Amino acid sequence: MDLLSPDLWKSQWDVVTSAPWLILPSLGVAGLIGWKVKGSLDDAEVRGLKTEISGLKAEISVREQRRLLAEEREEDVSRKLGALDAAYAKLQQQIATGATRDIVSSTSATVTSLLTDVATANDTLREIIVRPLPLPADDAFPRSVVGTVTHKSGS
């Protein structure tokens, strides 16, 4: 059966014109079914995109909060580093002027304490910056947002 032959189309057209009450409703039903299926597929796609947008907004919010926290910690590190620089300059000045051993020892202990504070604050800042974002609950975001999950809890 050659679908492009004029004889086939002529004979089929004769069938349609001889029984339009059978063919036209069938075409109408098929068109309606196709329209409904397309609509439901479009709705599912829209819902999926809205879910993905919602997930991305949540991720942006988490990243913004972490950025603000990192800025606060950076200010803390800068403030502590300024105090350390001042204490170190004071220690150098005391050593240069020949201050007593007790004074130099006290200032040295202060510098050591401030150095520990700066290192701790810097480690905290580094942890905030490099820590990976927590993955949301299993179905909170589409897989395209959180990556591939190989094991689903409860399965």
pLDDT per position as a tens digit, 11-60:
888 877 887 777 788 888 999 999 898 888 888 889 999 999 999 999 89
Q: Give the pTM.
A: 0.56
Structural domain span for residue 123: 26-135
- Residue 146 pLDDT > 50, yes or no? no
Structural domains counted in the chain: 1
When comparing pLDDT for 19 and 149, which is higher? 19
- 14 domain-assigned: no
Q: From residue 126, how far is each of 52, 83, 123 by CA, in Å?
A: 30, 20, 5
- 152 domain-assigned: no
- 54 domain-assigned: yes
pLDDT for res 148? 43
- 65 domain-assigned: yes
Where residue 102 falls among pLDDT bands split at 50, 70, 90? Answer: very high
- 63 domain-assigned: yes
